Structure 1
Amino acid sequence: MSEPLTPVDRAYVTVLRIEAILLSLPFIIGALVAEVAQVIFAGAFLVPVALLAMLLILMVPLRRYNARGYDLGEDRLRVVRGLLFRKDTAVPFSRVQHIDVEQGPLERAFGIGRLVLYTAGTHNASVSLPGLKHEVAMDMREAIRAHVKRETL
Structure 2
Amino acid sequence: MMVPPPPPPSVVWTIVVSRVSRSRSWSLMTHLHLFRRLNAAVGGQFLRLDIAAANRLVSAARAGGGRMKPLEAGQLWVMRVRAALVALVLLVAATAAEIILEHDRLPDGLIVAAVLPVVVWLVLIAPRRRWRAWGYRAGDTDLELAHGVWTQVRTLVPLDRVQHIDISQGPLERMFGVCRLVLHTAGTAHSLVLLPGLARDTAERMRDEIRARIGEERA
Pairwise CA distance, 1:44: 2.0
Alignment-derived partner of residue 92 in structure 2? 29
Q: Which has the larger radius of gyration?
A: 2
SS in 2 for 1:86: strand
- SS in structure 1 of the partner of residue 108 of structure 2: coil
Specify the code of the residue in structure 1 equivalent to 2:149. Answer: L
Matched, 1:78 2:144: yes
Count of residue correspondences:
153
**Alignment of 1:8 onto 2:74:** no
Distance 1:68 1:20 in 2: 17
* Aligned partner letter, 2:67: P
Over the matched positions of the two proteins, sequence identity in percent amounts to 39
Q: 1:140 aligns to what? A: 206
TM-score by length of 2: 0.67
Distance in 2 (CA, whole Å) between partners of 1:120 and 1:148 is 13
Moved over 3 A (4+): none
Distance of 2:97 and 2:195 partners within structure 1 = 40
Structure 1 residue aligned with 2:124, among 51, 54, 58?
58
Structure-2 separation of matches of 1:134 and 1:44:
45
Backbone CA RMSD of aligned residues: 1.3
Gap regions ≥5 residues in structure 2: 1-55, 60-65
What's the TM-score, normalizing by structure 1?
0.94
1:58-105: CA deviation from partner (whole Å, max 9, x where unpaired): 001100011000001111110001111111111111000101110111
Structure 1 gap segments, 5+ residues each = none
